[in-house]
A and B are shown apart, each in its own frame.
Chain A
Amino acid sequence: MLQVRNLHIYYGQIQAVKGASLHVKPGEIVALIGGNGAGKSTILRAISGIVKSTSGSILLSDTEISSLPPERILKNGIGHVPEGRRLFRGLTVHDNLMLGAYSRNDSARIKNDIETMELLFPILGKRRKQLAGTLSGGEQQMLAMARTLMARPRMLLLDEPSMGLAPIITSQIYEKIGLLNKNEGLSILLVEQNAKLALKLAHRGYVIETGRVVMEGPTSELRESNEIQRAYLGKGYREVWE
């Protein structure tokens, strides 16, 4: 579905991504894990067109999208839930959802989809008229996801959905992500600092270090890898959260 080949991205003089290649198959959840500043978020931003890549190609169902502006990429079916939520804090929950559907013109079905979102995330229905900035962290993450889903993407880019959330809220969010994948067949590319969580949910994973893919494979293999256990999972640490 999505193929990223030999991607290079510069921020001014600094090279953030140095020839990363990865792919996501239809209906798959793929996790990108790695430390701070590894270039994970930058890769997502390049896919959704917010950041322009210097070289390399990004193919969505065999169509080159790396030179398209963000609004065209969204119309082609890639929705991005940005890091740190980035809600319209001064607007209501309902307005945020409406703006999520900005790229669409079918107003009758948009109304319908808002109801669907309020079923999927019941808290959003209760908070409909509330300003997005007044929601709790978990509610904001749910709104951010629902807002992006309002564009009816075929593929979802999720940037750190667990950021700043309590473990119990995080597991609720992850449950929803799993449901979206299973029930809607949504392909998901997930960036996560919390490697344990990401490797549990995803089908395959890539480990990114200083702008390069240093390891890849099915998550079952990655979880067993000594290198990953040492660097990202904390070897010998008992997994009390399970």
Chain B
Amino acid sequence: MSVYIFHVLIMMGIYAILALSLNIIVGFAGLVSLGHAAFFGIGAYVSGLLMINGLGFPAAFFLSGIITSLLGLCLALPSLRVKDDYLAIVTLGFGIIIGLVFLNLEITGGADGLVGIPPVSLMGKPLYSKPGFFGLVAGVLVVMIVTMYTLKQSKIGRAWAAIRDNDVSAAFMGINVYGYKTMAFITSSFWAGLAGSLYAHYTAYINPHTFNMHTSIMVLSMVVLGGIGSITGSILGAVLLILLPEILRPLADYQDIFYGALLVAMMIFRPQGIMGRVKITEMFGRKK
């Protein structure tokens, strides 16, 4: 039983990192991305392949983030010349292309996927225990949350807020709009790559099916459900959307209907997301 609970907790943690990373693009910089699963997948495959080929865990982990962020840069450079609906379509296309690449490359194992990914090893010892792995995921998540809060308060965060509110005015204020949008994609894909790496070493087996459009939409739902731009919201969104299928499991074949209906109801009755504009620090802080 506790193994199952830790499995769910680990998935929540990984998806929370993924949702937070997407929140940098969607919530902080006010852009759209419908291909976020591609970055998740790139991180997973890169990390898996590096470790299969003999690299140690910490190195494979960081390299997966760095290589994914380079691909984020490759996506950002051409696609950030368009915005809004057009950017949505470009990122959607990117997601589909990367999915097809996973499916057709020899090195990724094609449709069979990548088998035999070594487990995480820290200080020479493989980490098999689920609570241990959860500790690792939670650690990465905490570092990420701190990074996100720091980013939000920083000069970069203010530039993103300006671009989100009005990108033309931001240019008038001397903000390099294109540069900061690109930076949002790079930062976001870096963390998505790390989430992918954790996922790959946790499941020990990955296939292209995990990184398709369905995942992209699900991660976006986590961000929107939690409240766009809210750090706490993205985490809550991930917790909820991972937890729901588990709770709804007794409904068997009807599970997806309830899942969908809940999402629709949520958007009707609380369109701003769970957290909305409220910050958790304000909720527990002083009250007037």
- Residues of A at the B interface (CB closer than 8 Å) are 48, 50, 69-71, 74-75, 80, 82, 86-91, 95, 98-100, 102-103, 147-148, 151
Contacts and interface: CB of A to CB of B under 8 A. Distances in A.
25 contacts: A48-B172, A50-B168, A69-B176, A70-B171, A70-B172, A70-B174, A71-B175, A74-B173, A74-B174, A82-B172, A86-B172, A88-B161, A88-B165, A89-B166, A91-B162, A91-B165, A99-B170, A99-B175, A100-B173, A102-B155, A102-B159, A102-B173, A102-B175, A103-B174, A147-B173
A50 B172 contact: yes
A102 B175 CA distance: 7
B171 A151 contact: no
B96 to A, nearest CB: 31
Interface string B145-176: 00000000001001101100110111111111
Q: Which label, helix, strand, loop or mixed, suits the secondary structure of the B interface? A: helix
A52 to B, nearest CB: 12
A46 B174 CA distance: 14
B166 A88 contact: yes
Contacts of B162: 88, 91, 99, 102
Contact of B173 (A69, A89, A90, A99): A99
Nearest to A82: B172
Contacts of B161: 88, 91, 95
B273 to A, nearest CB: 16
A75 B162 CA distance: 18
Given A98-B158, A102-B158, A102-B159, A151 B173 contact: yes
Contacts of A95: 161
Contacts of A148: 172
A148 B171 CA distance: 12
Please report whether the interface of chain A is mostly helix, strand, loop or mixed according to DSSP.
loop
7 tightest A-B contacts by CB?
A74-B174, A103-B174, A71-B174, A88-B165, A86-B169, A90-B165, A102-B173
A151 to B, nearest CB: 7
A89 to B, nearest CB: 7
B169 A151 contact: no
Given A86-B169, A88-B165, A100-B173, 15 more contacts: A48-B172, A74-B174, A82-B169, A86-B172, A88-B162, A88-B166, A98-B158, A99-B170, A102-B162, A102-B173, A102-B174, A102-B175, A103-B173, A103-B174, A148-B172
Nearest to A48: B172
Nearest to B166: A88
B166 A151 contact: no
Given A71-B174, A102-B173, A86 B168 contact: yes
Contacts of B174: 70-71, 74-75, 102-103, 151
Contacts of B169: 82, 86-88
